[in-house]
Every structure is written in structure tokens, then in C-alpha cells.
Amino acid sequence: MLLAIPNVSPRAWHVWRRNLLVFVKTWKVNFFPPFVEAFLYLLAIGVGIGTYVKEIDGIPYVNYIAPAILAIAVMNSAFFECTYGSYVRMYYQKAFDAMIATPLSIEDVIAGELLWGATKSVMYVLIMLCVLSLFKVLVLPMSLLVIPVAFLGGLMFAALAMCFTSVTPSIDALNYPSFLFITPMSLFSGTFFPLALLPPIFGYVALTLFPLTHVVAIFRMFTLATLSWTIVLHLIWIFSVTAILWVLAINLMRRRLII
């Protein structure tokens, strides 16, 4: 039942477009945070800690963390959009109820929300790419390959978020996945230091349970121009998990809303 392939129609894009319109209308508030965030990370961790660390595996520390900054932005923007953002639209604004009174089905609505979450990841990554390019901490034009992967990764985190949204009893309970899952993941996914530094068990946990690990690994290959065949394994992992979470998220939301 929960793994049945949901029947999503192209009308899902109407929901995506609605969210895009609202985003564009308030573009000043929306564009500022990723811009500032990139600066803060580069300064505090890149320059601050980088003064002592100098380099990791022969790579300047700022360049080492640059892909992690991008990957964390992918995760945060999609995850928070499809937890708190979607919950507000579903529960407080009753937006989903209004939408399913039209030819849109609940499957279309949720798919539109997920596609929107992924789009937001891409937009944040685009802004941050500009800042990081100014500081010359990534290899161009190869680094531009992070853009399509940002969409895929964004879709994965959006679907993961929507699964939590579908079972949460209240908006406050969404703090649990945010602080107990997202925060540790942003620290222990090979973001600011190589996983190899820790006992091997951490590496296994990160590779199996932390989606961010795979996004960071791929991004790092692009921004440092160090492609390896293992990118295939990371992509397969992301593709499969995204597909499963997409199906699960839509069916769980259907179970919550269609009674």
C-alpha cells in the first residue's frame, strides 16, 4: 500500500508554480540568507579554522569545505521547505484542501511540493556558487555540474522531509528530525573533515544512513575536479533512495489527508 506507485499528473507543476510565484514576490528576503550564509561559512570555518588547519590531503582547507557548504545548503533548503513550509501550508493555511477541490489530486499536490523543494535547493546553490566563485575556491566550469545534482539531492531531502511532515503530530515535533538527524548529519558526513579520521564504524553509518555523505562526495569531485568512478555508486545510492522516499512521502501524505 505505502509502496504503490503514486499516480502523479502534470498538474503537479501548478503547485510548483504557485510556490515559485510566492518566492519571487518576496525575493529580497529569500535571496539574502544563502548569500550571507556562504560568506559566514567561508569566513568562520574557511579562514578562521583554515588558518590553523591549512590543508587536508594536500587541498587548501577552504577549498575542501566549499563543496560541503553547497551540499549543506541543498539539504537545508529542501528539508526545511518540506517540513515547516509544507506543514504551514497544509495545516495552518489549509492550502492543500483548497487545491484538491480542483482537478488536482493529493498526489499532484505533494509531488508539486517536492519538486518545489528541489528547485529551492538549486536556487540556493546557484547563489552560493556565485559567492564561492568570487573567492576562487572551486574549479570552473566543472563545478557547474553540481547544479543538476543539487536538484536530485534536493528532491531526496524534500521527500525525506515530507515523510516526517506526514506523521508529525504538531509543528513543534518537527524539531526532532531537525535537531536529531539533520544537525548531526551536517557535521558527520565528510563535510568539514574526512570520515577516515574517525573509527571505521562512523564511515559505515554515514554511508548507509546519511544521504548528505553522498551529495558531499559528488560535489567535492566536481569542485576540486577530482572525478573518480565511485561517483557512479554515489549516484545509484541517491537515485534509489530518492525513488523510494518519493513514493513513500506521497503515499504517507495521502494516508494523512484523504480520509
Partner 1 sequence: MISAGNLTKSYGTFTAVDGVSFSVRKGEIFGFLGPNGAGKTTTMKMIQCVSPRSGGTLSVFDLDPDKHPAEIKQRIGVVPQETNLDPDFTCEGNLLTYARYFDIPAPLARKRTDDLLAFVQLLEKRNVAIEKLSGGMKRRLILARALVNSPELLILDEPTIGLDPQARHLVWERLKTLQTQGSTIVLTTHYLDEAARLCDRLVIMDNGRILEEGAPLDLVRRHAGEEIVEVDKTDTVITCLKGLDIPFEVAGDMVLVSTDRAHDLARILLERCRPTKMLTRPATLEDVFLKLTGRRLRD
Least distance in Å: CB of 119 to partner 1? 17
Q: Quote the CA–CA distance of 103 and 99 in Å, as a whole number.
A: 8
**Residue 115 beta carbon to partner 1: minimum distance, rounded to whole angstroms:** 15
Q: Could you give the CA distance from residue 212 to residue 223 in angstroms, rounded to a whole number? A: 16
C-alpha cell at 162: 515530507
CA–CA gap between residue 128 and residue 70 (Å, rounded): 7
Would you say 46 or 85 has its CB closer to partner 1? 85
Nearest distance from residue 88's CB to partner 1, in Å? 10
| Of 90 and 217, CB closest to partner 1 | 90
Interface residues with partner 1 (CB under 8 A) are 9, 11, 14, 17-18, 21-22, 25, 93-95, 97-105, 258-259
CB atoms within 10 A of CB 207: 17
| Relative orientation angle of helices 27-41 and 61-80, to the nearest 10 degrees | 150
User: Based on CB atoms, which residue is closest to partner 1, 99 or 215?
Assistant: 99
Residue with cell 515530507: 162
Q: What's the closest the beta carbon of residue 97 comes to partner 1, in angstroms?
A: 5
Nearer to partner 1, 86 or 186 (CB): 86
